[in-house]
Amino acid sequence: MSYDFKSNASREYLENIIDLNHITIIHLSGTTYDPDVVNIQKKAIIINNNYQSNFSYEFRIAHELAHLLCTTSSENYNLSLLTKNDIEKQANIDGIQLLINFYFSEIASGKLRWNYRFQFISTFGLGPLTHLVEKILNPIKNSV
């Protein structure tokens, strides 16, 4: 499959999740330093079109979706740096899992998924999160 197909199909997959969960997505043009954010109470994702990130648009959406779909409470994100880092790490893990569910939907074999991990990482610009992708896809850990 070409990257464009994956990109279009993955966006449709994420849009379906957004629609099914009645989530609002807003695109704004902030500065290059303003990250994407989520408002849990309003079930809204705000994407900054100008934000400079090496992560793909799809991962940025999946990460913000993870805050909405996988958070067990209406946590206040003005918490300590350590707590905030834990919340962001979990959103990264859950966002990666959302993309894995799509990307590998036709591949049941954990070993085959593992073999294609670098293609997955490249497709979604997840180089800095390789360790998390490998933790999730590790066929030895997941075969037990």
pLDDT at 84: 73
pLDDT at 133: 98
Domains assigned to the chain = 3-142 (1.10.10)
Within 10 angstroms of residue 99's Cβ, the number of other Cβ atoms is: 23
Q: Are 86 and 63 in contact (CB under 8 A)?
A: no
Its pTM stands at 0.86
Q: List residues bridging with 26 in a β-sheet.
A: 46
The span from the CA of 71 to the CA of 73, in Å, is 6
Q: List residues bridging with 45 in a β-sheet.
A: 25, 38
pLDDT tens, residue order, the chain (144 aa): 334 445 689 999 999 999 999 999 999 999 999 999 999 999 999 999 999 999 999 999 999 999 999 876 555 454 455 667 889 999 999 999 999 999 999 999 999 999 999 999 999 999 999 999 999 999 776 554
The span from the CA of 13 to the CA of 33, in Å, is 28
The closest alpha carbon to 36, from 20, 53, 21, belongs to 53
Q: Are 15 and 24 in contact (CB under 8 A)?
A: no
